[in-house]
A = this chain, B = another copy of it.
Amino acid sequence: MYNIGIDLGGTNIVASVVNEDYRILGTGKTPTSTPRSADEIFDDIAAMCREAMDKAGVTINDISSIGMGTPGTVNGEGVIEFANNLGFNNVPARDMLKERLGDLPVFIANDANCAALGEAYAGCGNGSKNFVAVTLGTGVGSGIIVDGKIVTGVNFAGGECGHMVIMVDGEACTCGRRGCWEAYASATALIRQTKEAMEKYPDSVMHELAKAEGKVSGRTAFDAMRKGDIAGIEVVDNYIKYVACGLIDIVNALQPEIICVGGGICNEGDTLMTPLKRFVQAERYSIHSKIQTKIMKAELGNDAGVIGAALLGSIQ
């Protein structure tokens, strides 16, 4: 038997047929094209599920369950209570999928939590049951797995480690608080920090690099650092310190087996991961413990979401 995993994003709808070894056998993908009505979006989701089944060479009778990851908060009845970037308010996602695909077991969860589940079972976690995934992207996404299950919290809004404050009265965050980890450790924050350093250092090589690329990106400061640029080194050192701060907070609170770090910034590889691991080792509270949380790079990339969504039916 197979499961279908759906990753409903603000940009794309992706649906995949996933087998029992967590392998993707076929995928359908189409732009989400917001703003549109939920009905239109769910028609496309169902079409992508059918396309995935066609490509995988299976029929709906071969499918055990359907899982979907979505932005926003999803309640226990499979209703998307609120998803800002989809314009969704109380959308009965589970029922809408059943109407379109038949009376299969359907499970809906937050997309960051699905991605965490995918990495924990099928990615760098390799089956880990106590696992936290952190994604350094536009924001800082995260999902917490305890005893093999997503920590959804009482209202299915759990796992937002990006919105833990690391600097009281610090930078404004999109969530309304000040000083959130996300406001210091996201790619967006890194770009802001790079721009601030460029103003401070008019002679920095970052000005040339940004001109050549046509914009300031998450790579600008890292590339400048590799050229020995003082401003670039300062930006990268501070950024890594901020990322490490939140990782150590998670270690101290939860002591998971693994914290997996993903997102575009991770393409920097050891340049990012080696100092991150060093910070965590130096500052974790559990300095005397023989067993320590491992900090690992995410392995599944964008596939983590659909694989995790496909797994939702297996872990209930």
Contact = CB atoms under 8 A, between A and B. Distances in A.
Interface of A: 73, 75, 81-82, 130, 144, 146-147, 149, 151-161, 163-168, 175-177, 179, 184, 241-242, 245, 248-250, 252-257, 283, 285-293
Contacts of A291: 154-155
Nearest to A167: B168
B144 A254 contact: yes
Given A146-B147, A159-B253, A168-B241, A73 B154 contact: no
Q: How many copies does the complex hold?
A: 2
A313 B286 CA distance: 25
B81 A154 contact: no
A165 B241 contact: no
A161 B253 contact: yes
Contact of A253 (B154, B156, B158, B286): B158
Closest 8 A-B residue pairs measured CB to CB? A153-B255, A155-B289, A157-B286, A164-B249, A158-B255, A82-B288, A155-B291, A163-B252
Given A144-B253, A285-B160, A242 B155 contact: no
Contacts of A149: 147
B165 A286 contact: no
